[in-house]
A and B are shown apart, each in its own frame.
Chain A
């Protein structure tokens, strides 16, 4: 019996699903599963019983809440696909619309973070799911995958005044005054942006569950120039720390 799969997207850019289609193993993947619902490439338009449901995107309206509740009923395992689904993602920067991660509405059985989900990590996570295993999330931060390292801590004050580097970095971006969210971001993307000389924006989401405290710990231990502070969201581009506010 092939496992029955459901892949759907809520409010999103479809980037994570694109990443699935672009996987090298996608043709084999198509062969080895039965899609009961995958509107992007399949004509079936009913949410039905399934083994694994992958949900991309966040919830921005009532009918999407109903949809995920329905999926929860029908699916044995529900997996949040991508940073929007698990942390709210880019839409959480909006003042107009509220973006609700799906795990605030339903219980989930795992998540594959990333904006979009990084290729290798996505591939291995899908394989793990098909084999009935759990998704392996790294307990380390992104710095563990980065080739740039701080110069043995000689510089004791980190001062940030840039969002984008002005030259090829020689050492850790933070020590070159460029904001990099690597320290508070989960590893797993192989630091591809950093290898392309671009600092981490935190798209893999927080390394610890209480993002608010991690973010505060981090940003208060570095100095950020007023010039770039104007964009408050430099603190939380992909993950809005709303969850804490609710409990207060």
Chain B
């Protein structure tokens, strides 16, 4: 039996009081004191006392539990009668006893509100509401001077919940939170409710003070009933942020990011799969936009990165990731390099003695290299490496090992694992280059080269020593043809136009006599290509279909109209999604891919960011601007010491949940997952739109603040509003509600017969809200949300639209009584006219004229 049932009977309360006074008492001594006529009754009550009293010998006495019950009982009485003294009361105790004491603050807004409303009448009405213990009228609540008085008022009346009747919570919540933060609770939001009696009442209905007053009453009463229903929220997962970042990929984007992070004071782990930093751009002859030699640029960039103490892991992959944003654990796999980078001096003796050669992949196989090799001349770290696939062979030879003066070579090197903890992860692994080149007869040895290979030909450390010559015979080409858009159909490479511009300049500078043609194959050009050229320029050619034909070592460009010979062909190839992206996604990182297979933007919420061409084709300029963007996001995220999960978010009641998974499949942020016998809502990914609550068939999912119960109660209270026909509007916080506020700010007068319910998103509008509104006597229901394409919660508005469409289909009599509209936050006139039109249709009258009083 619970305490309240025990104490519900006055005899049992008396027993406690008597025992407190008398200490111990025998059964027979009780009878006269309690004025009971039969011993049976006393027996009954004593049995019902449970563990509050105990018997020792013939006597009864209070137990510890009994004493506590007595204390709670007294406290309860004192609080209810208002006679309790501050020092007697522990606020925690009040909340434990479960007493809600509501204080209502009515702000006059410097006469703006009191001019229209009869404040005395309003005060009388609100004062009669259950659990409202005091009403405080303030002149201007936003005046910081008010805060001291409010603090005293709260103390005086033991107020633990507050209703603020004033202006819109949209604009003023933060201001008021500052006022109340010291006096109520840190989780202020759950203890304060707002009644928007300014923007959505007096400012839009100032010529109808009677209706405005009635409206203000229901608005405040609804807020009071909502605050009554607020339950304790447990904020469990506060995450202490790791001041560190993992940057995966050591190319242009990765290096720049690492530098920004390190300079902002974050610990940076730069993880590169290959043995050296630099990425794709290291092969480029120079950087297009800044006309700087790549190796100079990279050398400087890397040295700056090293100066900032970035922890660099080359030959390393990320294997497993666990944890949340703010604190991830990543397991790194460091693959063996077989050379101790610290001991190596870079003397290259080992590569000199190495007897084995293979194609140099860095030079696209255009040259040969040794088994032990330094990948390229500006490689970092500048130390040789042996691939794992060659190691068996090298262990049979060991010439390098013998030759090394510093014993830096260790052919028995093993892979190692390492765990790091980071607050955020950035994926900057870049993209791959288009490879399906056989239709173009790609063959560098026959001078049909890709743009990447051409970069090597231009580069001073490349296979031709920086001379623009044909690979086939080492002579200068007399004519060069550049083929644009060598890529997957419909994906614009985004940079082959600018690249060919660079080539034209470069070729004209080095070989002024060389004939030059740039070819566009119309059949391959995507819908909206980035074009910089002028069509009338004589070197540009359009062809419906373009073919490269090879006869022996002769090369021809063939179009439907023409065919002519050329010395050298440059295939300007595009970028395709990095092939390790899918594997990474499946094994270690949680992110989604877009329709083309690049990393999608949506993943920003989960603490993993994509940067550079991993997100789609990008040139230098795009990449640098993306790194800045991402750097700011990550740095500001990790600047906080703690990450607190969404307080408005959703929770699951497992006693009702049947694991249908509808919440998970409807969550726009993929914050909900099903794991064996549990629904997990990631409180960091949850953005509190409430869509999951609306779709949950058993109502097992519930929001922490905007609960279904509160919404239903609001509808009930609103239904007391007497004008007819009356309309209830469910307006999303970011657009619909804001448009209504904006109408208030502009003092646009529209029909007073509408009451607005604030919802986080129209996707939160459970069909039940609508059916219940009609059941409760509303004549019309309006749902007001964002523009479909720019819904704050991705597709919340579309979800609401679908619901309403289906509800109308199944209940044709609602056709004219139910509407969903989309607005932007400044569509105040539109809001007013929508409401007016709806009103007039329901009333069968002409629409009232909209007029702004100011």
Contact = CB atoms under 8 A, between A and B. Distances in A.
| A–B: direct contact at CB < 8 Å | yes
Given A212-B807, A248-B774, A150 B813 contact: no
Contacts of B697: 141, 183-184, 207-208, 214, 217-218
A228 to B, nearest CB: 15
A26 interface: no
**Centre residue among B661, B700, B774, B806 by max chain A CB count within 10 A:** B661
A217 B666 CA distance: 11
Interface in A151-172: 152-153, 155-158, 172
Interface in B645-686: 655-662, 664-667, 670, 672-675
B515 interface: no
A153 B665 contact: yes
A143 B770 CA distance: 26
Contacts of A235: 810
B799 A149 contact: no
**Centre residue among A183, A187, A216 by max chain B CB count within 10 A:** A216
Interface in B694-740: 694-695, 697-700
Nearest to B777: A247
Contact of B661 (A150, A157, A219, A248): A150
Contacts of B661: 143, 149-150, 153, 172
B775 interface: yes
B803 interface: yes
Given A144-B659, A208-B697, A153 B771 contact: no
Contact of B656 (A139, A145, A152, A247): A139
Contacts of A218: 662, 695, 697
B699 A140 contact: no
A247 B807 CA distance: 15
A220 B348 CA distance: 68
A150 B679 CA distance: 12
**Centre residue among A184, A218, A221, A247 by max chain B CB count within 10 A:** A221
Given A155-B665, A207-B697, A213 B771 contact: yes
Interface in B107-127: none
A138 to B, nearest CB: 8
Interface in B296-342: none
Contacts of B675: 152
A182 interface: yes
Nearest to B817: A248
A142 interface: yes
A196 interface: no
Interface string A11-34: 000000000000000000000000
Contacts of A152: 664, 673-675
A41 interface: no
**Centre residue among A150, A208, A217 by max chain B CB count within 10 A:** A217
A216 B658 CA distance: 19
A210 B674 contact: no
Contacts of B817: 248
Given A141-B660, A144-B657, A156-B665, A244 B803 contact: no
Interface string A173-206: 0000000001110010000000000000000000
Interface residues of B, number: 42
B74 interface: no
**A interface, how many residues as a size bin?**
35 or more
B805 interface: yes
A210 B712 CA distance: 13
B695 A221 contact: yes
Contact of B806 (A172, A207, A219): A219
Given A220-B799, A245-B811, A207 B674 contact: no
Given A149-B661, A150-B674, A210 B771 contact: yes
A82 B59 CA distance: 58
A220 B656 contact: no
B662 A183 contact: yes
A150 B670 CA distance: 14
Nearest to A187: B658
B709 to A, nearest CB: 14
Contacts of A221: 662, 665-666, 695, 799, 802
B813 A248 contact: yes
Contacts of A214: 697, 767-768
A241 interface: yes
A243 to B, nearest CB: 10
Contact of A212 (B670, B771, B802): B771
B665 A141 contact: no
B543 interface: no
B814 interface: yes
B807 to A, nearest CB: 5
Nearest to A158: B665
Contacts of B813: 245, 248
A216 B810 contact: yes
B766 interface: yes
Given A183-B660, A244-B811, A139 B694 contact: no
A145 B677 CA distance: 12
Nearest to A209: B768
A61 B662 CA distance: 40
Contacts of A219: 806
A221 B767 CA distance: 12
A157 B675 CA distance: 19
Interface in A74-96: none
Contacts of A207: 697-698
Contacts of B673: 152-153
A248 B805 CA distance: 17
A216 B800 CA distance: 10
Contacts of A213: 766-768, 770-771, 807
Nearest to B663: A153
A184 B699 CA distance: 11
A152 B774 CA distance: 37
Given A139-B698, A152-B673, A153-B674, 5 more contacts: A212-B811, A213-B770, A216-B807, A217-B767, A220-B806
7 contacts: A139-B656, A140-B658, A144-B659, A150-B660, A216-B767, A220-B806, A248-B813
